[in-house]
Amino acid sequence: HSFGNSKEEYLSFLSDYTFRARRNLARGKCVYAGDALASCAVTSAETDNKALISGVASNAELQGGGYGKRAVLSLVNELKCIGKTPYVIALNDSAKSFYEHLGFEKDNLIAYINRKDI
């Protein structure tokens, strides 16, 4: 994901995410390549037994190295360890394929939105 170089979009996202994370309604996992942040995966909403993974962002210079996969699987593992079923939203064919490759099935892929249709 990219914020299109919009500082306002990023700050809005960060403020909202921080608010939810402090109330245990969201969480994130980051993966590093040495000292460089390679990828992050975040939930946008959580209940006692479910969590919605709604974002994965990767450093453009490190894409293709499996860092996004590692971030998502780390987050999935944490969620499962605390008794939560992970769900995902795919915003394009690439994201849908990515999540399916990681083992998410139709029941866990709760929304598929093709941005071309919007």
For residue 113, name the pLDDT band (cuts at 50, 70, 90): very low
pLDDT at 103 over 70: yes
Mean pLDDT of 81-101: 87
For residue 5, name the pLDDT band (cuts at 50, 70, 90): low
Mean pLDDT of 21-42: 89
The answer for residues whose C-beta is within 8 angstroms of residue 25's C-beta and 6 or more apart is 45, 46
69: its two tokens: 């996969």
Q: Tell me the pTM.
A: 0.79
The proportion of the chain whose per-residue pLDDT surpasses 70, expressed as a percent, equals: 84
Mean pLDDT of 61-67: 90
3-state secondary structure of 66: coil
pLDDT at 65 over 80: yes
Query: Phi first, then psi: what are they for 113, rounded to 5°?
Result: -120, 115
Rounded-to-10 torsion of CA 102, 107, 108, 111 = 110
Mean pLDDT score across all residues of the chain: 82
- Sign for the CA dihedral angle at 36, 1, 95, 111 comes to positive
CA distances from 92 to 20, 25, 44, 53 (A): 25, 25, 18, 15
DSSP state of 103: T
